[in-house]
Amino acid sequence: MRFGLILGDQLHHQLATLKFLDRAQDVILMAEVLEESTYVAHHPQKIALIFSAMRHFAKELKAQGWRVRYHPFQRNSRICKLIDFVHVQQQLLPATVLVITHCGEYRLQHDIENHWSSQLQLPVHCLDDDRFFCSPAQFRQWANRYHTLRMEYFYREMRKQTGYLMQQQQPLGKQWNYDSANRKTWSGKPSLPAPLRFKLDQIDLDVIELVRREFPQHMGNVANFSWATTRSNALLALQHFIANNLPHFGDYQDAMVYGEDSLFHSLLSPYLNCGLLVAKEVCDAAEAAYHSGHAPLNAVEGFIRQILGWREYVRGIYWLRMPEYASSNVLNYSAALPQFYWTGRTKMTCMAECFRNTFDHGYAHHIQRLMITGNFALLSGVDPQQIREWYLAVYADAYEWVELPNTLGMVMHADGGLLASKPYAASGNYIQKMSNYCKHCPYNVKTRTEADSCPFNSLYWYFMIRHEGVFRSNPRMGMIYQQLDKLQDKDQIITHAQQLLSQVNEL
């Protein structure tokens, strides 16, 4: 008899562990444990999604004839870690080996590979996670062929490998990337589809009550929880996106609108990242929508690029460069994360809106994360470890393999340009262009150094000034430094920006 340990981000019936084991004689182990729930202060909706999805998945496994040993969360239990639960089950059942699919976090994977076997006195067999298009080994082979590891190069190779939106090894439309066509602002038309909400069953209700009781100190609201917690409902969420949102997703994927939380975004990443959906079926559905004439090429290509390109790419970078990557900080940032990242209380409307969405739903779309909350952290010199912990904690789709490279590489440019060839820094002008936030804000987006000037403006130019030695020679930033050279108020910008940073929690 063998044990198969299934983690909270591996909730798929075609998981390598389940394909490897024999339901007639092997035993599945699943556990909700304190260590995994609290190593950062996870959003209550994230915990509720994972716990409820785990319980539903265990129920489904039992209905299929699997023997499942499940440990529900108990704060005072002696089972605090996953290995504790395996050890307890060892005392009850004579297992000969522990089988597990490669997990999504270096911390846990390193512990499993290097310590569990000796601590348990039980062989541990770790399987490749084949839910992805590209294995870490394949990514390493790709990386060895390139001096610069740009996502675009990787994405094109994955398109050729999978055949998505390809014809005779050439991209449909004779263009690989339609990003430039996906930057429209939304001003009320076309109409937004009604959000999809799922009726909560007893498992959901029990878990929500548990989370409310056991994690009251964790930032975020669990009262309006509406995520799918079963594969059948996750598939409905996929169908809803394809039918209602995908046709307009491309045009408006970078748009931000006051009071609107999801626009035409899919909200599928939590399901992809916990296993209720797999990448191939999502990309297949999107491609089919293009071939049927339901969705335009720019929308489908932009969506597939996020999954086949970016999602696979950051996972490859993570396993290629860990654990050293986690401590990246080439700009030597050390400022504390402002308090409003945890409270949401700030006069900056764009920031307040992103925080509200985050706290209410455990969600914000990629531009809100990168160009609002991330942009401010970059411009204000926040310690990368502090903002990394925040992103890992507050989003329902955040697992370290995907969150860490996005934060350190894209948001903070802490890796020196490994992921992004230039920093994703922007002034208030970008926010005004891509949203209507500025219309609702007490700060003036048109000025730089006045008392009521948008903080992003002076902080942006101060960022360029103090890091001039790093970025002036960057060919993608030449025009920015040409603009900087023409500014007549550099001294005032520096003074104003320094004043803002000295009282950042009052903004």
Q: Say if CB 383 and CB 335 are below 8 A apart.
A: yes
Type of residue at 134: C
pLDDT value of residue 192? 92
For residue 29, what are the β-bridge partners?
A: 5, 69
182 pLDDT above the threshold of 90: no
CATH fold, domain 136-199+229-321, is 1.25.40
Kind plus residue range of the DSSP H or E element containing 110: helix 106-111
pLDDT value of residue 398? 96
User: Which of the four pLDDT bands, split at 50, 70 and 90, describes residue 462?
Assistant: very high
pLDDT value of residue 9? 97
Q: Say if CB 23 and CB 247 are below 8 A apart.
A: no
What are the Cα distances from residue 11, in Å, to 61, 76, 274? 10, 26, 6
pLDDT tens figures, 271-291:
999 999 999 999 999 999 999
pLDDT value of residue 178? 86
Domain 3-127 CATH assignment equals 3.40.50.620 = yes
The segment(s) of the chain belonging to CATH 1.25.40.80 are 136-199+229-321
Kind plus residue range of the DSSP H or E element containing 445: none
389 pLDDT above the threshold of 90: yes
pLDDT value of residue 180? 80
The segment(s) of the chain belonging to CATH 1.10.579.10 are 340-506
Q: Is the dihedral of CA 118, 124, 129, 134 positive or negative?
A: positive
Q: Is the dihedral of CA 263, 132, 302, 233 positive or negative?
A: negative
CATH fold, domain 340-506, is DNA Cyclobutane Dipyrimidine Photolyase, subunit A; domain 3 (1.10.579)
Helix 151-162 vs helix 312-321: crossing angle, to nearest 10:
120
95 pLDDT above the threshold of 80: yes
For residue 5, what are the β-bridge partners?
A: 29, 100
pLDDT value of residue 2? 96
pLDDT tens figures, 318-348:
999 999 999 999 999 999 999 999 999 999 9
Q: Is 204 helix (H, G, I), strand (E, B) or coil?
A: helix
pTM: 0.95
Please list the alpha-helical segments (H only) found in 339-489.
340-343, 349-361, 366-367, 374-379, 384-394, 400-405, 428-434, 455-466, 468-471, 478-486
The segment(s) of the chain belonging to CATH 3.40.50.620 are 3-127
Provide mean pLDDT across the span 441-470: 96
**End-to-end distance of the chain based on CA atoms, in angstroms?**
60
